[in-house]
């Protein structure tokens, strides 16, 4: 990977409102680490409802979710939007028009087909624990499992002939897909049959300034 051009004119403070257990929060920390952008961190425990308090809803996010990136006095929810904000103007976003849209394609795929299956399974099995799940959650597990497998299979086919999701370098598409793929085993997903995905994970971990979850 070539050195990143540093984005200019970032307001301070940059504060990440987050729960360290969340892969959506980790994406933002990884983007900041790769770009060498310092961010402050504020911690909330989602299992204790700390993002649904009156104060959080009024001051941080009316949607009651994390991560939220605070930029000066303004608040930016949605993990992939926060990654885009930090990386805007850097070479983590391709300069070609088609490639930029192709990067976003994989970022929308991540939020539509990957995260709702793989991250949700991981949250249920690894964070809440299988014994604590509701009947409704148990009933949804087969659908989540097959959806997650389909997402991993699509990624594996795509990576079979290329090192990175878009173009010839790491972009935000790789970063946002890495977050929950790297801990997919905690959701009961095995990567054993996805050779190309495992090779890509090794390349991600070898990036300069890479930060582990």
Residues that bind a second copy (CB under 8 A): 7, 9, 62-63, 71, 74, 76-82, 84-85, 88-89, 97-98, 100-102, 104-105, 107-109, 111-113, 115-116, 136, 139, 143, 154, 157-158
Q: Which is nearer to a second copy, 89 or 199 (CB)?
A: 89
Q: Which is nearer to a second copy, 5 or 205 (CB)?
A: 5
Please name every residue paired with 40 in a beta bridge, in sequence order, or none if there are none: 15
d(CA 168, CA 122): 30
Least distance in Å: CB of 205 to a second copy?
A: 26
Least distance in Å: CB of 52 to a second copy?
A: 12
User: What does each C-alpha distance from 61 to 46, 67, 74, 146 come to in angstroms?
Assistant: 14, 9, 10, 32
d(CA 123, CA 167): 32
d(CA 54, CA 95): 42
Q: Which is nearer to a second copy, 1 or 104 (CB)?
A: 104
Residue bearing tokens 């680490």: 33
Please name every residue paired with 18 in a beta bridge, in sequence order, or none if there are none: 43
Least distance in Å: CB of 200 to a second copy?
A: 17
Least distance in Å: CB of 110 to a second copy?
A: 9
């Amino acid at each position: 990977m070539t050195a990143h051009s540093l984005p200019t004119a970032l307001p301070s403070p940059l504060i990440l409102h987050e729960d360290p257990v969340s892969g959506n929060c980790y994406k933002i920390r990884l983007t900041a680490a790769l770009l060498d952008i310092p961010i402050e961190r504020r911690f909330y425990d989602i299992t204790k409802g700390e993002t649904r308090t009156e104060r959080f809803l009024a001051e941080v996010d009316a949607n009651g979710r994390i991560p939220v990136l605070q930029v000066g006095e303004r608040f930016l929810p949605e993990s992939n939007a926060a990654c885009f904000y930090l990386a805007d103007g850097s070479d983590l976003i391709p300069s070609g028009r088609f490639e930029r849209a192709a990067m976003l394609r994989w970022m929308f795929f991540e939020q539509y087909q990957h995260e709702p299956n793989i991250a949700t399974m991981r949250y249920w099995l690894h964070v809440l624990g299988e014994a604590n799940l509701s009947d409704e959650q148990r009933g949804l597990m087969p659908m989540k499992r097959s959806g997650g497998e389909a997402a991993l299979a699509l990624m594996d086919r795509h990576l079979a002939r290329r090192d990175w999701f878009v173009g010839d370098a790491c972009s935000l598409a790789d970063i946002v897909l890495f977050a929950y793929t790297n801990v997919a085993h905690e959701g009961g997903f095995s990567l054993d049959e996805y050779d190309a995905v495992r090779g890509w994970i090794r390349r991600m971990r070898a990036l300069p300034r890479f930060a582990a979850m």
